[in-house]
Amino acid sequence: MPQHDIFKHEKDILQQAQKIATNAQHKNNPLLLTYIQLTMEYRRLYLNSKALVKMSDRQQNKLLKTNEILESANQTKSTFLANMSHELRTPLNAILGYSEMLMEDDKTECYNDIDKIHTSGTHLLSLVNNLLDLSKIESGHAE
């Protein structure tokens, strides 16, 4: 029996029960009154459960869409981190290489400044490498 037929059938039963309940000659029949009360309570619970199922389906669909959006955002973040890390590493490696060459050739007063550049660059490269490692781990490409 299709769903809408079941609904119509229950509606008919409820209407009949309400007519019987309003009929003066059946008001003193406790069994009939109990049956009518149970029928009405069943109907109320049935409608509430139907509404909850609808709400649950909508919530589940919302959660699935939100999850897809979050997964896409996370992938975009990981890709961005990986690309930015590589973009930062290239010039940092050049700065570090050049500062090492200058430190080997120049033992004069500029040596301390060049050493500071090299130390800061090494620290920054370490941070960038950590970011790159983290983005690889998050994207599942860890070595």
- What's the pLDDT at 26? 56
- What's the pLDDT at 1? 43
What is the identity of the amino acid at 45? Answer: L
Q: What is the pLDDT of residues 93-107, one digit of tens each?
A: 888 888 888 888 767
Rounded-to-10 torsion of CA 104, 109, 113, 118: 10
Q: Which residues of 93-104 are buried (b: 16+ CB within 10 A; e: fewer)?
A: eebbeebeebbe
Please check the confidence at residue 31 and state whether its pLDDT lies above 50: yes
Name the more confident of 37 and 8: 37
- The label of the residue with tokens 């080997």 reads 104
Please state, in angstroms and rounded to a whole number, the distance separating the CA atoms of residues 142 and 135: 9
For the ranges 9-13, 21-25, 32-36, 108-112, the maximum mean pLDDT occurs at 108-112
Tokens of 92: 């940092």
DSSP 28: T
Q: What is the pLDDT of residues 49-84, one digit of tens each?
A: 888 888 888 888 898 999 999 988 888 887 787 788
State the maximum Cα–Cα separation within the chain, in Å, rounded to a whole number. Answer: 117
Angle (CA) 119 97 82, round 5° = 80
- What's the pLDDT at 65? 92
Please state, in angstroms and rounded to a whole number, the distance separating the CA atoms of residues 96 and 79: 25
Name the more confident of 111 and 136: 111
- What's the pLDDT at 68? 92
What is the identity of the amino acid at 95? Answer: I
Please state, in angstroms and rounded to a whole number, the distance separating the CA atoms of residues 48 and 56: 12
